[in-house]
């Protein structure tokens, strides 16, 4: 059995936090023992999930990490909290974003090494329950976390899960012989990242609030139509629904920020997380769980993004161009640049540098969260709602897994948005915003 698991360059994307999900089930009497035994089987099958993120003792390069001992037991990873007698909270109240969140979530989010790889908490409520699911971001990305969650659901059904790939060597962007040798990557070629002074702390982001937004299927179609070229437009470039929604959010958030008094001449940096697995030929296996996320970046003056004179298509094309730039060669260049750092702890994402004008988007829309079959673990129920259990930072949005509604509006999407309280109050009163996003 492997006792030490090496990490690679992209694993330092977010080396101090967990990838969190809060899953809601309309089941007040889950099979706790089945869940516990399934987590135990998951740890036995994928031993690395029981490990601890620690500094790599044999790597001379500062800041490098690995997964190794201590390997924890199921009872150190899986816990149960019973709030069924608490009169202040029930299942319905627990679904309101931000409300009672402190009762449902342990203080897990920020977790610099040493930190355990996986943590799971089942919380029992009147009328339902929640499963707080957290894997360390230094070991998996959002897609990887979803793959492990799917394996747990499979074990709850008494079936054998697909093999998951944790070995970094299976991904092309982790193999040193694929790194470009010429030209030598430079920081100025990758404005999405920068090299911070060694003594510069990550620091805690300012406080924020979160709201769950609903974009119906028809609203998404209308936004994409707004971003489509006219027949007379010489620029016939295509934009996706995701581009259109991201552009709309960037625009209306920028309007709210300017109304709140943020200097409109400030640069506004937009970033979107892109899955590198699908950027290679052939694609990296979807069962590869390691960090495969790279960031896009595009920058404009806040005034331009907020201006009523700027067509939404113009903003959407900025988003599209930044996503299209994430080619195989670009990703290999990023890895080569970061691999050459003398101290990986100096790596920063540029759009995390200011919380007043920048905006980030991550998408979990492709995750199978709502279709997972948990057997009898939750009384035959599937996930009712997926939420984020912590407020991360102002100026970030997560597109949540598709499938939250069935029937005629199954094409709609939920978005969890985090902003400062002042900016959020302005945004949710914006009639142009609420025309497309239900709050």
Annotate 129-165 with DSSP letters as a single string.
EEEEEEEETTT--HHHHHHHHHHHHHHHTT-PPPPPB
Mean pLDDT of 120-134: 95
Q: Count Cα neighbours of 385 within 13 Å in the Cβ-side half-sphere.
A: 20
Mean pLDDT of 256-280: 95
Question: Where does residue 364 rank: exposed (0-12), middle (13-18), buried (19+ CB within 10 A)?
Answer: buried
In this model, does residue 47 exceed pLDDT 90?
Answer: yes
pLDDT for the residue numbered 16 = 85
pLDDT for the residue numbered 67 = 95
Cβ–Cβ under 8 Å, residues 7 and 139: yes
Tell me the CATH number for domain 5-178.
Answer: 3.30.559.10
Mean pLDDT of 89-117: 81
Most confident of the following: 283-287, 349-353, 406-410, 433-437: 433-437
Pick the CATH number of 199-366+392-434 from 3.40.630.30, 3.30.559.10, 3.30.300.30, 3.40.50.720: 3.30.559.10
**pLDDT tens-place string over residues 192-247:** 888 888 777 666 788 999 999 999 999 999 999 999 998 888 888 999 999 999 99
Percent of the chain's residues with pLDDT above 90: 65
Alpha helices in 204-287 (DSSP H): 217-226, 241-259
58-72, 74-88, 291-305: least confidently modelled range: 58-72
pLDDT for the residue numbered 400 = 95
pLDDT for the residue numbered 346 = 87
pLDDT for the residue numbered 325 = 95
Question: What is the value of pTM for the model shown?
Answer: 0.94
Bigger pLDDT: 351 or 91?
91
Which tokens sit at 260? 């709140």
**What is the spatial distance between Cα 272 and Cα 326, in angstroms, rounded to a whole number?**
11
pLDDT for the residue numbered 95 = 80
**What is the spatial distance between Cα 280 and Cα 125, in angstroms, rounded to a whole number?**
45
Q: Give ranges for CATH 3.30.559.10 in the chain.
A: 5-178, 199-366+392-434
pLDDT for the residue numbered 129 = 96
Mean pLDDT of 324-348: 89
Which tokens sit at 188? 């100025």
pLDDT for the residue numbered 220 = 97
Q: What ranges make up the beta strands (E) of 263-384?
A: 267-275, 293-295, 298-301, 347-349, 359-363
Peptide bond into 62 cis (omega under 30): no
Which of 143, 389, 394, 188 is closest to 287 using CA atoms? 143
**pLDDT tens-place string over residues 387-434:** 988 888 999 999 999 988 766 577 899 999 999 999 999 999 999 999
**pLDDT tens-place string over residues 142-165:** 999 999 999 999 999 999 999 999
């Amino acid at each position: 059995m492997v006792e030490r698991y090496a990490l690679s360059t992209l694993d330092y994307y977010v080396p101090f936090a967990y990838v969190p999900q809060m899953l809601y089930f309309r089941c007040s009497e889950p099979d706790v023992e089945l869940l516990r035994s399934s987590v135990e089987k998951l740890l036995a099958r994928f031993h690395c999930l029981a490990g601890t993120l620690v500094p790599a003792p044999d790597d001379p390069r500062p800041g490098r990490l690995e997964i190794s001992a201590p390997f924890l037991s199921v009872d150190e990873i899986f816990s149960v909290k019973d709030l069924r007698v608490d009169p202040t909270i029930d299942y319905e109240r627990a679904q309101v974003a931000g409300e009672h969140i402190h009762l449902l979530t342990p203080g897990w989010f920020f977790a610099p090494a040493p930190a355990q790889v996986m943590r799971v908490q089942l919380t029992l409520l009147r009328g339902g329950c929640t499963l707080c699911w957290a894997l360390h971001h230094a070991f998996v990305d959002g897609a990887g976390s979803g793959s492990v969650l799917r394996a747990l659901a499979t074990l709850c059904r008494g079936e054998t899960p697909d093999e998951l790939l944790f070995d970094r060597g299976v991904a092309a962007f982790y193999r040193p012989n694929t790194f470009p040798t010429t030209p030598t990557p430079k920081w100025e070629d990758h404005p999405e990242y920068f090299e911070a002074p060694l003594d510069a702390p990550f620091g805690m982001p300012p406080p924020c609030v979160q709201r769950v937004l609903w974009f119906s299927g028809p609203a998404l179609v209308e936004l994409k139509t707004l971003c489509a070229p006219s027949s007379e437009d010489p620029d016939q470039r295509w934009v996706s629904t995701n581009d259109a929604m991201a552009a709309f959010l960037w625009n209306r958030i920028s309007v709210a920020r300017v109304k709140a008094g943020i200097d409109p001449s400030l640069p506004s940096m937009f970033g979107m997380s892109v899955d590198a697995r699908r950027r290679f030929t052939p694609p990296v296996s979807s069962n590869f769980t390691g960090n495969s996320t790279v960031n896009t970046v595009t920058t404009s003056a806040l005034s331009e993004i907020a201006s009523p004179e700027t067509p939404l298509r113009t903003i959407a094309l900025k988003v599209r161009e930044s996503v299209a730039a994430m080619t195989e060669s670009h990703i290999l260049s990023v890895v080569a640049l970061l691999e050459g750092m003398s101290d990986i702890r100096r790596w920063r994402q540029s759009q995390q540098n200011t919380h007043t004008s920048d905006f980030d988007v991550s998408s979990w829309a492709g995750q199978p969260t709502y279709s997972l079959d948990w057997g009898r673990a939750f009384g035959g129920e599937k996930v009712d709602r997926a939420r984020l259990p912590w407020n991360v930072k102002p100026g970030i949005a997560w597109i949540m897994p598709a499938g939250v509604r069935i029937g005629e509006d199954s094409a709609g999407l939920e978005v969890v948005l985090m902003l400062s309280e002042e900016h959020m109050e302005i945004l949710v009163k914006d009639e142009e915003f609420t025309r497309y996003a239900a709050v």
